[in-house]
């Protein structure tokens, strides 16, 4: 099965839409949230856990897997699917954001990014050609162009130069792609400038990709500014290709992103928050370490059907967390990811039934309820 995207339905009162992505490793219904498996694992969970939760596609990180254990080794052992035991669709990012996060340990040049490994200080060069070579070896179903994630804040002059470099790298990435087993997504940049966002979207679409990602958001800007940039970008992306908002992941941000026409989301928030004891519920966030849950025999969320909520109490999970038991992180992660996957499913149903606005209003109303 090759890559394709079918737009099935657009909500009558918003830009929210339902679609279906077909990949060599199965189909994905959109809008969809991707659990993040940075190093080839969603921390604490097995492939069966992810299937039981209802996850459709996961994200793995090119930068980390390139450094350890190495893409050549992963390729020898059957690519990411064979290596990790996950047989569903996989998306890999290019490593550009992780290199961006290295700060003084990296230097951006025309030909790529020179950086030092955060593991042992060894020096590396990540070029657009190399980013594609690594991701093809990993065998992901969707791979990303190398881009420069423009920092915030940044001047318009710097942002324009950064954006234009991303465009040049995008052309090289497309020309460097050798395998027909992977779909390649281009990435829109442009910082926090409406005109540059529009220009970047138009240029990336002109180059032509299987899908289009919006990068460089959720990097420190306020919510309203982020939404303004989305409004400036989305109208210039094709209707017949999937749209991916990279690294944005509060439930509220996802709800608003779907409303505006985004199809794919990923974020470490649900898994990281789970390990830190913050849980997402239909009534808002719950911080399990709070003493009020010491004798609370109720599940995390009485409206949740996940394994954790069906089998364990708040009191028990709090006990696990306060005593540092690893099971706490595992049970919390199962719950948080189930919450995200479940809300995406409910959004798809609301769009199909032309009641997304009603669903969105109910979502925010629920957040005012007591935990």
| Residue positions annotated with a catalytic role | 93, 266
Mapped onto helix, strand or coil, the DSSP state of residue 76 is helix
Beta strands 278-281 and 32-34: pairing type? unpaired
Per the omega criterion (within 30 degrees of 0), is the bond before 69 cis? yes
DSSP-assigned letters across all residues of 142-197:
EEE-------SS--HHHHHHHHHHHHHHHHHHHHH---SSSEEEEEE--TT-HHHH
Q: Tell whether the torsion through CA atoms of 35, 37, 38 and 43 is positive or negative.
A: positive
* Number of residues assigned to the chain: 371
Per the omega criterion (within 30 degrees of 0), is the bond before 153 cis? yes
Q: Which residue has the tokens 């990602």?
A: 213
189, 215 contact by CB (below 8 A): yes
List beta partners, residue 26. 23
**273-276 contacts, C-beta under 8 A, 24 or more apart:** 273/336, 274/329, 274/332, 274/333, 274/335, 274/336, 274/337, 275/43, 275/44, 275/329, 275/332, 275/333
Q: Which is nearest to 284 in space by CA: 358, 198, 363?
A: 363
d(CA 170, CA 187): 8
């Amino acid at each position: 099965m090759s890559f394709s995207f079918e737009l099935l339905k657009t909500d009558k009162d918003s830009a929210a839409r339902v679609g279906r992505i077909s990949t060599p490793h199965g189909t994905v219904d959109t809008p969809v949230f991707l659990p993040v498996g940075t190093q080839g694992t969603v921390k604490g969970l097995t492939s069966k856990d992810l299937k039981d939760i209802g996850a459709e596609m996961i994200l793995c990180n090119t930068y980390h897997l390139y450094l350890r254990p190495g893409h050549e080794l992963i390729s020898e052992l059957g690519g990411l699917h064979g290596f990790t035991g996950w047989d569903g669709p996989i998306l890999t990012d290019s490593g550009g954001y992780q290199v961006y996060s290295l700060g003084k340990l990296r230097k951006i040049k025309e030909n790529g990014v020179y950086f030092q490994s955060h593991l042992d200080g060894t020096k590396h060069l990540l070029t657009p050609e190399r980013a594609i070579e690594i991701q093809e070896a990993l065998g992901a179903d969707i791979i990303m162009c190398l881009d420069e994630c423009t920092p915030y804040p940044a001047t318009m002059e710097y942002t324009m130069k950064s954006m234009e470099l991303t465009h040049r790298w995008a052309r090289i990435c497309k020309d460097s792609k050798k395998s027909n087993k992977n779909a390649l997504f281009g990435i829109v940049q442009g910082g926090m400038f409406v005109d540059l966002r529009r220009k970047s979207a138009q240029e990336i679409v002109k180059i032509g990709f299987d899908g289009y990602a919006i990068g460089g958001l959720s990097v420190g800007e306020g919510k309203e500014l982020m939404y303004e940039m989305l409004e400036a970008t989305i109208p210039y992306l094709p209707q017949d290709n999937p749209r991916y908002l990279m690294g944005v992941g509060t439930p509220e941000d996802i709800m608003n992103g779907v409303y505006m026409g985004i199809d794919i989301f990923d974020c470490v928030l649900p898994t990281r928050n789970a390990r830190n004891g913050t849980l997402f519920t239909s009534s808002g966030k719950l911080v399990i370490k709070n003493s009020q849950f010491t004798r609370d025999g109720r599940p995390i969320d009485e409206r949740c059907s996940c394994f954790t909520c069906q089998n364990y109490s708040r009191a028990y999970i709090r006990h696990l967390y306060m005593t540092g038991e690893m099971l706490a992180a595992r049970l919390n992660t199962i719950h948080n990811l189930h919450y995200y996957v479940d809300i995406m499913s409910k959004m798809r149903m609301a769009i199909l039934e032309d009641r997304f606005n009603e669903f969105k209003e109910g979502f925010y109303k629920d957040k005012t309820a007591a935990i």
